[in-house]
C-alpha cells in the first residue's frame, strides 16, 4: 500500500467535470434566486423590485392577514391527510397486487393512470364529480336515495377535503407503483422463513417487510411531500380558492400577491416563509437520515 | 452601377412601404360578446390606415395584467396594451417602460377635448402624458329584467330600496333576486357601487381618497355594509362566475337584476334587448344619480423599432378621433371621452349616462384612488364576506377599516 492517499478532490475526475454545469446552474438559479428573494422580502417592492428597506413590515402584515393564516391551516390539513392516506392506500393496493393475482398489468395500469393526468385536468374532473347538479350526488339520487347530499366543494368548512379527494385519487397510484417495486425487491426467502416460523402475513408485513423497505419509503416520502408543499394548480383548477377563501394555499397566496396585487415584497415574504417551514422540517430530518450514514456499514 | 442603384431604390421603397404597413400587437382583456364587437371597431379603424392590428386578447383582467406586466418587465414589449388607467400603471411609468405620448396629445389637442379632464389627469405623471383614454366606464348601474318582474307579477323597481323589498316575492316566483359573479372584483365593485350610491360623496372621498380609517369605521359606512348584507342575502343562490354569465341570467329573465358597470350594456345590445322595454337601468341605483368616471386606456411600451413607433403614434391619435369614438363606444356601451361628438344613436341608458356626465354628477373611480394592492385586499375581504353568511357586518367593517388604515 502506498503511504500517500490520492487527493479526494481529483477522484472520479470525469464524473465531476460532467456535473459542473448542473452544479453551476443549481448554485446560480436555486441558491442565487433564493438569496435574492429573501433579500427583497425586506423591501417594499411593488410591481417591480426596488431596494427600499422596510424591515420586517412585510412579515408583520403577512402574519396579520387572514388569507395567509387560512392558507397555512389548509396546507397543514391537506398535507397531513394526504401523507397518511396516500401511504396507507398506496401500500395496501401494492400488497394486494403483490398476491400474484391475474391481470396484474391491467389493474396496475388502471390504478396508475390518474397520475398521468395533470393537476389541472384532475381538478376539473373532480370539480364536476363533486358538483351536486351532475356529479356523484346526482347519480346516487338517481338510484333512489333522494336525500343523499355530497357537495363538499360548496361548503366552506369541508371544501379542502374535496380537494383532498382529488389529490389522493391522483397520487395514490404513484405510491402504489413505488411500493410495489419495493415489495418485489424483497427476497422470497424472507417470506419462506416467516411462513416456516408461523408468523401471520399481516405481522410479517408490519414487522419485517416494511422495515426492510425503508429506502423506498424515504424516496416516496420526498416525492409526496414536495408535491404537497407546491400544491397550486389543483386548487386553481378545482376551486379557485373558494368558496370564499376556504381553500387558499400558500403557493396561491404568493402568486396572487405578486401578479394580482402588484406587491412583490409581500409575495417574497410569503415564499420565504414557505422556504423556512420546509427547511425546518427537512434539515433535521436530513441530518438524522444522511448525517450518520458514515457510521453505518 | 445602374443595376445597383435600381436595387437600392427598390429596397428603399420596400423599406418605406414597410413602414406604412406595420403589424402592431395589441393586448387587451375584452373577450365577452359586446367587448369583442367594440374591439373589432378599433381594429377596423386601425387596419384602414394600412397597418395591421394583431389581436392578443387574454380573458380576465387579472390574468391579462399578469401577462402584460411580465412581458414588459421581461423585455418583450407588445405594441400597445389596455389598462384601467389610474394607479395600475404608476410603477411601470416610474420604471421608464412606457412611452411618453405628450407630443401626440398636444398635436391632437387632447387637453381641450377630453371630458371630464380627470381622465387625462389619470394618464399624466409629472406633467407628461402616458396613455390614451378611450372610454368612460361607470360602475353605478343596476340592471333589471322586465321579464323576471312580469313573471313574478311585480312592478319593476325604481330604486335600491324597492328592489330589496321585491326580493322575497322574486324568490317565491322562482327567480334569483340578484345575479352576482363569484369573483372578487365583481363583489368589490358591488360594494363600491352601494357605497357611492347610498352615502354622500364626501364620505366616499374621505375613505378612498384621504384613506380616513375613522370614517371607514363610522356610521355612514355601516349603512353600506348593511346594504351589502342585503345583497349577500339576495345573491345567496347565485353560482355563476363570470360577470357576463350573470348578465345573461338577467337577459333571460332568470334573475331579477344585477349590479354591474355599464359594460353590461354591450351584452344587452348583443342579445338585441331594448332599454326601457326589455330591461331597465338605474344609474346610482336610482338613489343618488351619479357616475364614477373610470375607464379603459391604452398604454404604449417604449420600443426601439422606428416603424413600430410610427404605428403606435398612429394608433394613439386614431383612438380619440370622433368616428372611432362613436363606433367603439356604441358597441361597448361605454361613454365617449370627448363631449363634442354626436351620440344620438345611443339608447336610453347611454343617454342617461351622457346627461349625468354633462351635469357633472361624477366621482373618481376607485382604480384612480387606491393601489392594486389595496384593491386586492378589499376583494379578498368581500370574497369571504359574500361566500360566508356567518361573517357579521360589524366584523367585516372592522377589517375594511384596517385595510383603509394601511392603504397608501
Residue A21: other Cβ atoms inside 10 A: 9
Instruction: Describe the crossing of helices B322-332 and B306-319 by its angle, rounded to 10 degrees.
Output: 70
A-B contacts (CB, under 8 Å): 64
Contacts 24+ apart (CB under 8 A), B74-78: B77/B301, B77/B302, B77/B303, B78/B25, B78/B26, B78/B27, B78/B301
Query: Within this chain, do residues A63 and A174 fall inside the same structural domain, yes or no?
Result: yes
Residue B171 lies in a domain: yes
Sort out which chain B residues have CB atoms less than 8 A from A259's CB and list them.
62, 65-66, 69-70
Query: Within this chain, do residues A197 and A287 fall inside the same structural domain, yes or no?
Result: yes
pLDDT mean across residues, chain B? 87
Query: Within this chain, do residues B42 and B129 fall inside the same structural domain, yes or no?
Result: yes
Q: Which tens digits make up the pLDDT trace of A76-89?
A: 999 999 999 999 99
- Asked if A246 has any chain B CB less than 8 Å from its own CB, the reply is yes
Residue A49 lies in a domain: no
Query: Within this chain, do residues A33 and A134 fall inside the same structural domain, yes or no?
Result: no
Asked whether the beta carbons of B312 and B98 are under 8 A apart, the reply is no
Asked whether the beta carbons of B230 and B105 are under 8 A apart, the reply is no
The residues, any chain, with a CB within 8 Å of residue A102's CB and separated by 6 or more, are none
Query: Within this chain, do residues B355 and B236 fall inside the same structural domain, yes or no?
Result: no
Which of B91, B376, B387 faces A243 most closely, judged by CB atoms?
Answer: B387
- Asked if B372 has any chain A CB less than 8 Å from its own CB, the reply is yes
Nearest residue on chain A to B374, judged by CA atoms?
Answer: A261
pLDDT mean across residues, chain A? 88
pLDDT band, very low/low/confident/very high, at A5 (cuts 50, 70, 90): low
Which of A241, A244, A259 faces B388 most closely, judged by CB atoms?
Answer: A244
**What pLDDT sits at residue B88?**
76
- Asked if B350 has any chain A CB less than 8 Å from its own CB, the reply is no
Query: Model's pTM, two decimal places?
Result: 0.79
Percent pLDDT > 70 in chain B is: 95
- B230, B235, B218: which is closest to B394 by C-alpha? B218
- Asked if B188 has any chain A CB less than 8 Å from its own CB, the reply is no
Answer whether residue A2 shows pLDDT above 60: no
Query: Within this chain, do residues B264 and B198 fall inside the same structural domain, yes or no?
Result: yes
**What pLDDT sits at residue B167?**
92
Query: Within this chain, do residues A36 and A62 fall inside the same structural domain, yes or no?
Result: no
Query: Within this chain, do residues B197 and B310 fall inside the same structural domain, yes or no?
Result: no
Alpha-carbon torsion B249, B255, B256, B262, what sign?
A: negative
Q: Which residue has 372584483 as its cell numbers?
A: B185
Residue A106 lies in a domain: yes
Sort out which chain B residues have CB atoms less than 8 A from A260's CB and list them.
62, 65-66, 372, 376
Asked whether the beta carbons of A123 and A238 are under 8 A apart, the reply is yes
φ, ψ dihedrals at A272, nearest 5°: -65, -40
- Asked if B380 has any chain A CB less than 8 Å from its own CB, the reply is yes
Query: Within this chain, do residues B47 and B163 fall inside the same structural domain, yes or no?
Result: no
- Asked if B395 has any chain A CB less than 8 Å from its own CB, the reply is no
- Residue A151: give its domain's CATH number: 1.10.3720.10
Query: Within this chain, do residues A182 and A141 fall inside the same structural domain, yes or no?
Result: yes
- Residue B239: give its domain's CATH number: 3.40.190.10
Domain total for chain B?
2
Query: Within this chain, do residues B300 and B188 fall inside the same structural domain, yes or no?
Result: no
Q: Give the bridge partners for B363, in sequence order.
A: B292
With an 8 Å Cβ cutoff, are A244 and B375 in contact? no
Which of A47, A242, A256 faces B376 most closely, judged by CB atoms?
Answer: A256
What was the ipTM of the complex prediction? 0.73
Query: Within this chain, do residues B171 and B90 fall inside the same structural domain, yes or no?
Result: no
Domain housing A157: 56-295
Query: Within this chain, do residues B202 and B344 fall inside the same structural domain, yes or no?
Result: no
pLDDT band, very low/low/confident/very high, at B16 (cuts 50, 70, 90): very low
Asked whether the beta carbons of B141 and B281 are under 8 A apart, the reply is yes
Q: How far is CA B101 from CA B90, B98, B128, B322, in A?
A: 15, 9, 8, 19
Residue A46 lies in a domain: no
Sort out which chain A residues have CB atoms less than 8 A from B373's CB and list them.
46, 261-263, 266
Residue A47 lies in a domain: no
Answer whether residue B99 shows pLDDT above 60: yes
Sort out which chain B residues have CB atoms less than 8 A from A246's CB and list them.
387-388
Q: How far is CA A166 from CA A112, A246, A273, in A?
A: 14, 16, 26
Residue B316 lies in a domain: yes
Residue A50 lies in a domain: no
- DSSP labels for B219-237? HHHHHHHHHHHHHHHHTTT
With an 8 Å Cβ cutoff, are B376 and A261 in contact? yes
Mean pLDDT of all residues in B286-290: 88
d(CA B188, CA B190): 5
Query: Within this chain, do residues B99 and B49 fall inside the same structural domain, yes or no?
Result: yes
Query: Within this chain, do residues B133 and B152 fall inside the same structural domain, yes or no?
Result: no
Alpha helices of B178-321 — where are they, by DSSP H?
A: 184-198, 201-208, 213-216, 219-234, 243-251, 264-270, 306-319
Query: Within this chain, do residues B127 and B152 fall inside the same structural domain, yes or no?
Result: no
d(CA B325, CA B226): 39
Q: Which tens digits make up the pLDDT trace of B172-216?
A: 999 999 999 888 889 989 999 999 999 898 999 999 999 999 999
Answer whether residue B171 shows pLDDT above 70: yes
Domain total for chain A?
2
Query: Within this chain, do residues B250 and B386 fall inside the same structural domain, yes or no?
Result: yes
pLDDT band, very low/low/confident/very high, at B357 (cuts 50, 70, 90): confident
Sort out which chain A residues have CB atoms less than 8 A from B90's CB and list them.
47
Nearest residue on chain B to A246, judged by CA atoms?
Answer: B384
Query: Within this chain, do residues A194 and A283 fall inside the same structural domain, yes or no?
Result: yes
**What pLDDT sits at residue A292?**
61
Residue B12 lies in a domain: no
Domain housing B302: 24-137+294-360
Alpha-carbon torsion B269, B274, B276, B279, what sign?
A: negative
pLDDT band, very low/low/confident/very high, at B262 (cuts 50, 70, 90): confident
pLDDT band, very low/low/confident/very high, at B13 (cuts 50, 70, 90): very low
Residue A197 lies in a domain: yes
Q: What is the DSSP letter of B271?
A: T
> Which residues in chain B (77-106) have CB-CB distances under 8 A to chain A?
88, 90-92, 95
d(CA A287, CA A57): 33
- B251, B304, B261: which is closest to B284 by C-alpha? B261
Query: Within this chain, do residues A11 and A127 fall inside the same structural domain, yes or no?
Result: no
- Asked if A156 has any chain B CB less than 8 Å from its own CB, the reply is yes
Residue B19 lies in a domain: no
With an 8 Å Cβ cutoff, are A266 and B69 in contact? no
Mean pLDDT of all residues in B72-86: 87
Asked whether the beta carbons of A66 and A244 are under 8 A apart, the reply is no
Residue B257: other Cβ atoms inside 10 A: 33
Residue A51 lies in a domain: no
Mean pLDDT of all residues in A135-148: 88
- Asked if A219 has any chain B CB less than 8 Å from its own CB, the reply is no
Query: Within this chain, do residues A22 and A71 fall inside the same structural domain, yes or no?
Result: no
- Using DSSP bridges, classify how beta strands B131-133 and B124-125 pair: parallel, antiparallel or unpaired: unpaired
Amino acid at each position: 500500500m502506498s503511504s500517500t492517499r490520492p487527493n479526494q478532490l481529483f477522484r472520479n475526475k470525469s464524473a465531476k467535470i460532467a456535473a459542473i454545469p448542473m452544479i453551476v446552474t443549481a448554485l446560480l438559479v436555486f441558491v442565487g434566486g433564493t438569496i435574492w428573494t429573501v433579500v427583497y422580502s425586506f423591501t417594499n417592492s411593488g410591481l417591480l423590485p426596488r431596494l427600499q428597506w422596510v424591515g420586517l413590515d412585510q412579515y408583520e402584515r403577512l402574519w396579520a392577514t387572514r388569507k395567509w393564516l387560512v392558507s397555512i391551516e389548509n396546507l397543514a390539513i391537506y398535507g397531513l391527510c394526504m401523507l397518511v392516506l396516500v401511504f396507507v392506500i398506496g401500500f395496501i393496493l401494492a400488497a394486494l397486487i403483490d398476491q400474484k393475482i391475474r391481470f396484474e398489468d391491467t389493474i396496475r395500469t388502471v390504478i396508475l393512470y390518474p397520475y398521468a393526468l395533470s393537476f389541472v385536468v384532475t381538478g376539473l374532473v373532480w370539480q364536476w364529480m363533486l358538483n351536486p347538479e351532475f356529479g356523484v350526488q346526482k347519480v346516487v339520487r338517481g338510484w333512489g336515495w333522494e336525500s343523499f347530499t355530497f357537495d363538499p366543494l360548496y361548503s366552506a368548512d369541508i371544501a379542502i377535503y374535496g380537494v383532498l379527494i382529488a389529490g389522493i385519487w391522483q397520487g395514490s397510484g404513484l405510491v402504489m407503483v413505488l411500493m410495489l417495486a419495493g415489495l418485489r425487491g424483497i427476497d422470497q426467502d424472507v417470506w419462506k422463513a416467516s411462513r416456516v416460523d408461523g408468523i401471520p402475513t399481516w405481522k410479517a408485513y408490519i414487522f419485517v417487510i416494511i422495515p426492510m423497505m425503508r429506502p423506498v419509503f424515504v424516496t416516496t416520502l420526498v416525492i409526496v411531500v414536495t408535491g404537497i408543499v407546491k400544491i397550486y394548480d389543483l386548487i386553481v383548477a378545482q376551486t379557485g380558492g373558494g368558496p370564499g377563501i376556504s381553500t387558499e394555499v400558500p403557493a396561491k397566496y404568493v402568486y396572487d400577491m405578486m401578479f394580482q396585487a402588484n406587491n412583490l415584497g409581500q409575495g417574497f415574504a410569503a415564499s420565504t416563509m414557505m422556504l423556512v417551514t420546509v427547511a425546518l422540517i427537512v434539515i433535521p430530518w436530513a441530518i438524522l437520515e444522511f448525517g450518520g450514514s458514515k457510521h453505518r456499514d | 452601377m445602374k443595376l445597383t442603384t435600381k436595387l437600392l431604390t427598390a429596397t428603399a421603397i420596400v423599406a418605406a412601404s414597410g413602414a406604412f404597413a406595420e403589424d402592431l400587437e395589441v393586448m387587451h382583456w375584452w373577450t365577452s360578446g359586446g367587448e369583442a364587437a367594440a374591439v373589432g371597431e378599433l381594429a377596423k379603424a386601425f387596419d384602414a390606415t394600412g397597418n395591421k392590428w394583431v389581436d392578443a386578447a387574454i380573458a380576465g383582467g387579472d390574468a391579462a395584467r399578469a401577462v402584460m406586466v411580465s412581458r414588459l418587465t421581461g423585455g418583450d414589449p407588445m405594441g400597445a396594451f389596455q389598462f384601467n388607467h389610474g394607479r395600475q400603471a404608476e410603477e411601470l411609468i416610474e420604471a421608464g417602460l412606457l412611452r411618453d405620448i405628450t407630443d401626440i396629445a398636444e398635436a391632437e389637442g387632447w387637453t381641450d377635448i377630453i371630458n371630464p379632464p380627470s381622465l387625462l389627469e389619470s394618464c399624466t405623471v409629472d406633467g407628461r402624458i402616458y396613455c390614451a383614454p378611450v372610454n368612460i366606464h361607470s360602475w353605478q348601474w343596476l340592471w333589471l329584467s322586465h321579464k323576471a318582474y312580469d313573471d313574478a307579477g311585480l312592478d319593476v323597481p325604481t330604486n335600491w330600496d324597492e328592489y330589496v323589498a321585491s326580493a322575497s316575492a322574486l324568490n317565491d316566483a322562482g327567480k334569483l333576486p340578484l345575479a352576482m359573479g363569484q369573483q372578487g372584483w365583481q363583489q368589490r365593485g358591488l360594494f363600491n357601487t352601494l357605497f357611492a350610491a347610498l352615502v354622500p360623496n364626501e364620505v366616499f372621498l374621505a375613505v378612498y381618497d384621504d384613506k380616513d380609517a375613522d370614517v371607514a369605521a363610522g356610521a355612514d359606512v355601516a349603512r353600506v355594509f348593511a346594504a351589502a348584507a342585503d345583497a349577500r342575502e339576495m345573491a345567496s343562490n347565485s353560482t355563476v362566475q363570470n360577470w357576463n354569465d350573470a348578465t345573461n341570467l338577467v337577459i333571460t329573465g332568470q334573475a331579477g337584476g344585477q349590479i354591474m358597470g355599464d359594460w353590461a350594456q354591450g351584452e344587452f345590445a348583443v342579445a338585441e334587448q331594448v332599454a326601457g322595454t326589455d330591461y331597465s337601468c338605474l344609474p346610482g341605483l336610482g338613489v343618488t344619480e351619479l357616475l364614477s368616471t373610470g375607464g379603459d386606456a391604452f398604454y404604449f411600451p417604449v420600443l426601439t423599432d422606428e416603424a413600430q413607433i410610427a404605428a403606435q403614434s398612429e394608433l394613439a391619435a386614431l383612438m380619440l378621433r370622433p368616428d372611432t369614438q362613436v363606433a367603439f363606444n356604441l358597441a361597448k356601451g361605454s361613454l365617449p371621452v370627448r363631449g363634442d361628438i354626436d351620440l344620438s344613436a345611443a339608447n336610453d341608458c347611454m343617454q342617461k349616462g351622457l346627461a349625468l356626465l354633462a351635469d357633472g354628477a361624477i366621482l373618481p373611480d376607485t382604480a384612480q384612488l387606491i393601489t392594486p394592492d389595496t384593491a386586492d385586499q378589499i376583494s379578498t375581504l368581500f370574497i369571504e364576506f359574500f361566500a360566508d353568511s356567518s361573517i357579521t357586518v360589524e366584523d367585516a367593517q372592522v377589517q375594511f377599516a384596517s385595510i383603509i388604515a394601511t392603504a397608501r
